[in-house]
């Protein structure tokens, strides 16, 4: 129980650090390892919104909409990373995109996905 409280506090601190840098108009690199995604925030000109870019393991960078749930989850659950880690993120191998999923039915007849 104490460990869960400590983890929650640490997540909040990491989240606050990321949000404070974004609010201050700083370039920020952060990731959500659970979703295997790294994000980069580039501040906009004064009075203009900034842009977000994303990379998944084994995938190239692409621009992501600022109201994407991936950004929210990475801020809330993720951690800040270095520019070098972000730049090399697409080189990290992952089986997430190539896993074999099949439909199955449980006892009640509902379909669900099985990671094969």
List of E strands, the chain? 28-32, 37-42, 51-56, 62-64, 79-80, 101-105, 111-115
pLDDT of residue 100: 52
Tokens of 71: 């950004």
- Fill in the DSSP letter of residue 95: S
pTM score of the predicted model: 0.74
Return d(Cα 51, Cα 1) in angstroms, integer.
39
| C-beta of residue 114 within 8 angstroms of C-beta of residue 56 | no
Domain ranges in the chain are 2-115
pLDDT of residue 22: 92
- Fill in the DSSP letter of residue 51: E
Return d(Cα 68, Cα 116) in angstroms, integer.
29
- Each residue's pLDDT, cut to its tens digit, for the chain (116 residues) gives 788 888 888 888 999 999 999 999 999 999 998 888 999 999 998 888 999 999 988 889 999 999 999 999 999 988 999 999 999 988 887 665 555 545 555 555 554 444 44
pLDDT of residue 108: 53
């Amino acid at each position: 129980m104490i460990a869960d409280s400590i983890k929650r506090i640490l997540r909040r601190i990491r989240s606050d650090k990321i949000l404070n840098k974004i609010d201050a108009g700083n370039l920020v690199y952060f990731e959500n390892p659970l979703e295997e995604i790294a994000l980069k925030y580039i501040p906009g000109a004064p009075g203009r919104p900034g842009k977000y870019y994303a990379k998944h393991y084994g995938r190239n960078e692409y621009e992501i909409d600022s109201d994407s749930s991936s950004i929210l989850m990475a801020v809330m659950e993720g951690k800040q990373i270095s520019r070098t880690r972000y730049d090399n993120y697409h080189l990290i191998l992952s089986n997430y995109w190539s896993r074999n999923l099949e439909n199955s039915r449980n006892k009640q007849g509902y379909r669900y996905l099985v990671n094969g």
